[in-house]
Amino acid sequence: MKISTKLLAVPALALALGGATLPALAQEAPGAPPMHGPSPAVMEHLREGRIAFIEKSLALTPEQQPYWQKVADLLRSEPMRPERPAFKNGEHPELSTMLADRSQHMAARAAAQAKLAEALKPLEASLSPEQKDTLRAAFFVSSPGGEHGPGPGPGPMPGMPEHG
């Protein structure tokens, strides 16, 4: 599979420039309970890196920039991960409560994705065919946990050309 060197150069540059700050961001405050997963500061740092990666990969013109800004603002407004309740003494809520909470999260996520899809339309209309291919690739390659698109599996991702 051929991967654009432009797509690989941006994360390498981001790591070189911002990599030194990640350990500092990951440190817990004294006396704080132990964290599970990255801190909110690290998650914010990663979100900004993802947005910068996509933007740099697209090599936008000044005319395209306003369309991108609306998309970037929506990406910034999305929660990085759902809040999970802390359980005391191994107690967990009823399954029905867990499923209802999950359903609410999924509905909110679906609404956010619909807003993002609408914001992408004017940007996509302004992009060249090569930029459109780059947008699809950069968006899915940089997705946290594959939330924004299909994960690895047989065949190409929907909307992506087959390579062979």
* pLDDT band with cut points at 50, 70 and 90 for residue 129: very high
Among 30, 144, 134, 124, residue whose Cα is nearest residue 70: 124
Domain boundaries, the chain: 5-18+39-76+95-146
Copy the structure tokens of residue 45. 């740092």
Q: What is the largest CA-CA distance in the chain?
A: 56
Among 139, 158, 161, residue whose Cα is nearest residue 68: 139
Are the C-beta atoms of 161 and 133 separated by less than 8 Å? yes
Determine if the pTM surpasses 0.85: no
Total length of the chain: 164
**Per-residue pLDDT reduced to its tens digit, 38-80:** 888 898 899 999 999 999 999 999 999 999 999 999 999 887 6
Among 53, 68, 51, 75, residue whose Cα is nearest residue 122: 68
> How far lies 95's CA from each of 39, 64, 91, 99, 100, in Å?
28, 47, 12, 6, 9
